[in-house]
Amino acid sequence: MMAHRYLLPRRGFLGIAAGLAAGSFSRVLAEEDRPPVTDPRATSGDAAHEPDWEERLTISVGPRGAQLTGSDDKVIQAAVDYVSRLGGGTVHILPGEYALSNAVYLRSGIRLLGSGAESVLRKNPSTTVNLAADSDWYDQEITLESAEGFRVGDGVCLRTRDPHNGGPDVLKRTLIARSGNRFKLDRPLRENFWLGQDSTCSTLFPILSGEEIEDFSIENLTLDGNRENNANLDGNYAGCVFLQDCNRATFRGVEARNYNGDGLSWQICHDVLVENCHSHGHAGLGLHPGSGSQRPVMRGNRLERNEIGIFFCWGVKFGLAEGNTCDGNRYGISIGHRDTDNLVRDNDVRNSTQVGVLFRPERGERFAPHRNRLEGNRIVDNGPEDGAAVDVQGEVGSIVISNNEIVETRAAQRRVGVRIGAQTRDIELTGNRIEGFERQVEDLRNA
């Protein structure tokens, strides 16, 4: 009976425990005067402080004269996985052309280093067939109408219409076993792929891909999407590079070209640096800082002949686009759904066939791209004969457009330098040089 005096109800115990934990955590955060770490050591489980090692593991890959010899995705993946197992380092891709039948899946702590224009990763042509049997969401296999063009180890994209709402379902998987036209997948479907719902399988995948990884880089590589021989797969799923839920990624000196989709796409990825890259000739977007991505830095890149040069997707915040060249895209730069507090500075935006810089209208004030700054850019010869070089649409507010050169050299026609939409508010124009248009500024708020 005496022991029961010390028992607390479960709810009371959890409350006390939570309070103690919160108090302890607050005290740790308040210890600003604790000694700094001046001589870090490699300590088990401590990711906060690591010595700055002079050398890490490097493995070379190439068709000849390399530590791992080959010229496809498998040899590069083998090197990535080996270096990752030993704590990270560099995979050096030697000169050569590498034919890919699946994505190379990156790992945390990996530096993928090429030899510039001499190291070319090229996607193989795609094949698309219909499914020949129903597969339910719990299945881990599919049956194809024809297995011609499909091999074990291939990366594939499965597409169908949801049987309940008719919307598209898209999954990426790898074929890992085969019997005739039946293939086992590396992961379960988790969606229904039924006959009668336009269910197909295609050998489509990103060239390089990363999911839920951090602290990695891609440098001095050429990525060729082989657009003319591949079906389209948009930037929510693929691209020359596709990242999902990653942190602290660097792209430097990468040429991404000719993908039937996006060039460089990252979704819900934070602190991504894209520097001195060339992304061109894509059916989709040159740079695609995707939904929810925080603090992207895009600096010194060339983005040419894409649907859009730089596309700020949904909820991209506190980003910097600086010193880039957007040339010959349909849209040069596009900013929209809840993309707030971004700085677009010192870029060249020219020869866009539709709009140079677009603030998208979205679906109301709560969804608009507020508090963005467009400063010191050169925006030249953009849009059709009745278009606008800079078009601010929707219920957007607190936009600063300052010290830009907005110039039209072709002919004035019915062109407008800056168009301000009827529902906008607090749009600041200051210090801009606007020349060559029929109207420098068209303010629809006063129409």
- The 3-state secondary structure of the chain, one letter per residue: CHHHHHCCCHHHHHHHHHHHHHHHHHHHHHCCCCCCCCCCCCCCCCCCCCCCCCCCEEEEEECCCCCEECCEHHHHHHHHHHHHHCCCEEEEECCEEEEECCCEECCCCEEEECCHHHEEEEECCCCEEEECCCECCCCCEEEECCCCCCCCCCEEEEEEECCCCCCEEEEEEEEEEEECCEEEECCCCCCCECCCCCCEEECCCCCEEEECCEEEEEECCEEECCHHHCCCCCCCCCCCEEEECCEEEEEECCEEECCCCCCEEEECCECCEEECCEEECCCCEEEEECCCCECCEEECCEEECCCEEEECCCCCECCEEECCEEECCCEEEEECCCCCCCEEECCEEECCCCEEEEECCCCCHHHCCCCCEEECCEEECCCCCCCEEEEECCCCEEEEEECCEEECCCCCCCCEEEEECCCCEEEEEECCEEECCCEEEEEHHHC
Predicted local distance difference test score (pLDDT) of residue 33: 78
Q: Averaged over 336-348, what is the pLDDT?
A: 98
Give the per-residue pLDDT at 376.
98
In contact, 182 and 142? CB cutoff 8 Å: yes
According to the model, what pLDDT value does residue 6 have? 36
**Is residue 36 scored above 60 in pLDDT?**
yes
The pLDDT value given to residue 432: 98
pTM for the structure as a whole: 0.91
Give pLDDT tens digits for 279-337.
Answer: 999 999 999 999 999 999 999 999 999 999 999 999 999 999 999 999 999 999 999 99
Dist CA 26 CA 295 (whole Å)? 27
Torsion of CA 7, 12, 16, 19, to 10 degrees: 170
CA distances from residue 44 to 23, 101, 214 in whole angstroms, order as listed: 26, 38, 19
What's the CA gap between 322 and 314, in Å, rounded? 20
CB 63 within 8 A of CB 96: yes
Segment among 26-35, 190-199, 264-273, 279-288 with least mean pLDDT: 26-35
Domain spans of the chain, in order of start: 128-202, 204-446
Across 390-405, average pLDDT: 98
Instruction: Give the pLDDT confidence score for residue 32 in this predicted structure.
Output: 66
Instruction: Look at residue 9 and tell me whether its pLDDT is greater than 80.
Output: no
Pull the structure tokens for residue 113. 């280093």
Residue 270 banded pLDDT, cuts 50, 70, 90: very high
Higher-confidence position of 245 and 45: 245
Query: Span 204-446: which CATH code?
Result: 2.160.20.10
The CATH number of the domain covering residues in 128-202: 2.40.30
Task: Answer whether residue 16 shows pLDDT above 60.
Answer: no
**pLDDT digits over 137-185, tens only?**
999 999 999 999 999 999 999 999 988 888 899 999 999 999 999 999 9
